[in-house]
């Protein structure tokens, strides 16, 4: 059954526009309290990123949860994966994240973690939605929940991140520039790498509530790349607003995306004999990643776009490593969700262990040229249901043979068909993408 409010990653939208309003969020807190409070765990933890509306929604959630009779622990600004970890370690009934991830400050959202630090099951989200359609009630005064701030939250998560690598590991001698996206990791991120011995220069680490993700972070690495080269740093680290996404920059100022980072972490684990099973990417993962892993004898599966679907496939196969080219890297042997800081530490560990630069490590994977054209259509639809389009796809696939692939995908948020082709020959890829996009345009 389709959900009314929940998307693939919580509930998200523009602040002040339904459902991202104080009234709705308060009732959401109440509904979550009613559904999740039916066990011995009587508390919910709440963390947020740095956008200005976080204060308002934190208060709204606190009121709703208290009205349902559950206690609240307020973590303050905290990376999304840190909230997942603290939900587990505090033995809370659930964790709530107030964040719109890589979006601009005028958006916000509410995401949930289960008591195990994983995303809520569909059944639980349906139960919460059912309560949202009921009148809100308040428990009697003696049963109201209480709220308290957790002053040790940041320190606990910093130690958790450091514990993801061996205690003998040191970053001494490495110069790192870290772009904190003016987001949730603005303080925690630099501290983790400094405490491991690195010479750290943080940038975009002065949030004002309005500058989160603004021309910075994992979605815009231009400033980071320039500074890495200018300062002759060894590496650049770019996180997004809630620090669950990671993009890196090598010493030459060249961007290393999620596909390349996933390859580096996987190859490093295999070299040390600790790779269990295969790797999960998405429909958008570069063909070069698949080929490079296959060359090492590592199985590779593609999930639908979205870290939720990557996680589902990892769990189904009992594998540890997965991710997206956008920088969501999942190391299930380290945390229960994608974690930008922990992923960066795993990459750095491979660099240190093998005595190689990031540029040398990424050379083990050759990215295939990839071109994508968005074609606006009248309504959301399955492009492959059209016989003419399906036939055109088969013709393109035949021309590419085994040296490329074709993907037609309907956007989940807009009336667009994404036409993507990748292969060994950039000129051929460009021509075939334009050719197929024209067929889609004329028939859909």
**Mean pLDDT for the chain overall:** 96
The domain 257-367 is placed in CATH, from the list 1.20.1260.10, 1.20.1630.10, 2.60.120.560, 3.40.120.10, at 3.40.120.10
Q: What are the structure tokens assigned to 184, written together? A: 């949730």
Q: Nearest to residue 25, comparing CAs of 10, 7, 9?
A: 10
Exposure string (b/e) for 405-420, b if CB count within 10 Å is 16 or more? bbbbbbeeeeebbbbb
Q: What is the pTM of this model?
A: 0.94
Q: Domain 370-443: give its CATH code.
A: 3.30.310.50
Average pLDDT over residues 104-117: 97
Stretch(es) of the chain classified as CATH 3.30.310.50:
370-443
Residue matched to tokens 């998560």:
157
Average pLDDT over residues 427-443: 96
Judge whether 101 counts as a catalytic residue: yes
Q: Nearest to residue 77, comparing CAs of 47, 46, 111?
A: 47
Percent of the chain topping pLDDT 90: 93
Q: What local confidence, expressed as pLDDT, does residue 244 receive?
A: 97
Report the DSSP pairing between strands 300-303 and 255-256.
unpaired
Q: What local confidence, expressed as pLDDT, does residue 345 receive?
A: 98
With cut-offs at 50, 70 and 90, classify the pLDDT of residue 411.
Answer: confident
Q: What local confidence, expressed as pLDDT, does residue 415 receive?
A: 86
With cut-offs at 50, 70 and 90, classify the pLDDT of residue 40.
Answer: low
* pLDDT 10s digits, 219-252: 999 999 999 999 999 999 999 999 999 999 999 9
Residue matched to tokens 């905290």:
78
Q: What local confidence, expressed as pLDDT, does residue 369 receive?
A: 95
Q: Which CATH architecture has domain 11-153?
A: 3-Layer(aba) Sandwich (3.40)
- Which residue among 53, 99, 101, 285 is the active-site one? 101
pLDDT at residue 38 greater than cutoff 70 = no
Helix (H, G, I), strand (E, B) or coil at 432: helix
* Cβ-Cβ contacts under 8 Å for 316 (sequence gap 6 or more): none
Residue by residue, DSSP assigns 380-417 as ---GGGSHHHHHHHHHHHHHHTTSEEEEEEE-SSSSEE
Percent of the chain topping pLDDT 70: 99
Residue pair 119/309 in contact by the 8 Å Cβ criterion: no
pLDDT at residue 39 greater than cutoff 70 = no
| 45 burial level (CB within 10 Å; 0-12, 13-18, 19+) | buried
Q: Nearest to residue 101, comparing CAs of 222, 220, 245?
A: 245
Q: Determine the number of helices (DSSP H) and then strands (DSSP E) in the chain.
A: 14, 18
* Homologous superfamily of 174-254: Alpha-D-Glucose-1,6-Bisphosphate, subunit A, domain 3 (3.40.120.10)
Cα–Cα distance measured from residue 44 to residue 72, given in angstroms and rounded to the nearest whole number: 5
Cα–Cα distance measured from residue 437 to residue 409, given in angstroms and rounded to the nearest whole number: 12
With cut-offs at 50, 70 and 90, classify the pLDDT of residue 94.
Answer: very high
Residue matched to tokens 């979205």:
306
pLDDT at residue 360 greater than cutoff 90 = yes
Residue pair 436/421 in contact by the 8 Å Cβ criterion: yes
Q: What local confidence, expressed as pLDDT, does residue 133 receive?
A: 95
Average pLDDT over residues 371-400: 93
The residue that leads in pLDDT, 38 or 274, is 274
Residue pair 321/266 in contact by the 8 Å Cβ criterion: yes
With cut-offs at 50, 70 and 90, classify the pLDDT of residue 439.
Answer: very high
* pLDDT 10s digits, 182-206: 999 999 999 999 999 999 999 999 9
| Residue 345 main-chain phi, psi, to 5 deg | -65, -35
| 137 burial level (CB within 10 Å; 0-12, 13-18, 19+) | exposed
Residue pair 71/144 in contact by the 8 Å Cβ criterion: no
Cis ω for the linkage preceding 156 (within 30 of 0): no
Stretch(es) of the chain classified as CATH 3.40.120.10:
11-153, 174-254, 257-367
SS3 content of the chain, % helix, strand, coil (to 5): 40, 20, 40
């Amino acid at each position: 059954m389709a959900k009314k409010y929940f998307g693939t990653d919580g509930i998200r939208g523009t602040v002040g526009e339904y459902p991202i309003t104080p009234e709705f969020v308060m009732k959401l807190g109440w509904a979550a309290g009613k559904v999740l409070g039916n066990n011995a765990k009587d508390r919910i933890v709440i963390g947020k990123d740095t956008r200005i509306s976080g204060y308002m929604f934190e208060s709204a959630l606190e009121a709703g949860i208290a009205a349902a009779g559950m206690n609240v622990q307020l973590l303050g600004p905290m990376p999304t994966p840190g909230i997942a970890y603290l939900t587990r370690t505090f033995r809370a009934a659930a964790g709530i994240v107030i964040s719109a991830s890589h979006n601009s400050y005028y958006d916000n959202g509410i995401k949930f973690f289960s008591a195990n630090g994983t995303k809520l099951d569909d059944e639980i989200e349906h139960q919460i939605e059912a309560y949202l359609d009921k009148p809100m009630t308040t428990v009697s005064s003696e049963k109201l929940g209480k709220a308290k701030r957790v002053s040790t939250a940041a320190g606990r998560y910093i130690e958790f991140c450091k514990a993801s690598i061996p205690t003998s590991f040191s970053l001494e001698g490495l110069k790192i520039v870290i772009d904190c996206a003016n987001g949730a990791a603005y303080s925690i991120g630099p501290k983790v790498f400094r405490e491991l011995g690195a010479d750290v220069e943080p940038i975009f680490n002065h949030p004002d509530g309005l500058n989160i993700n603004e021309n910075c972070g994992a979605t815009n690495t231009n400033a980071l790349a320039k500074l890495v080269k200018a300062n002759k740093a060894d590496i650049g680290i770019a996180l997004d607003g809630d620090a669950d996404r990671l993009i890196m920059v090598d010493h030459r100022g060249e961007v290393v995306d999620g596909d390349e980072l996933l390859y580096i972490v996987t190859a490093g684990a295999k070299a040390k004999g600790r790779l269990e099973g295969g790797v999960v990417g998405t429909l958008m993962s570069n063909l070069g990643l698949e080929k490079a892993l296959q060359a090492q004898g590592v199985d590779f599966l593609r999930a639908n776009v979205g870290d939720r679907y990557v996680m589902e496939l990892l769990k189904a196969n009992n594998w540890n490593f997965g991710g997206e080219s956008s920088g969501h890297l999942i190391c299930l042997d380290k945390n229960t969700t994608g974690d930008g800081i922990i992923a960066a530490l795993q990459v750095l560990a491979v660099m240190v262990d093998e005595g190689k630069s990031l540029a040398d490590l990424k050379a083990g994977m050759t990215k295939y040229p990839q071109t994508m054209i968005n074609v606006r259509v009248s309504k959301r639809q399955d492009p492959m249901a059209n016989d003419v389009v399906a036939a055109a796809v088969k013709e393109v696939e035949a021309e590419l043979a085994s040296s490329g692939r074709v993907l037609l995908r309907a956007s989940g948020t807009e009336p667009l068909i994404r036409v993507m082709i990748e292969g060994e020959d950039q000129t051929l890829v460009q021509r075939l993408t334009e050719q197929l996009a024209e067929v889609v345009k004329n028939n859909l």
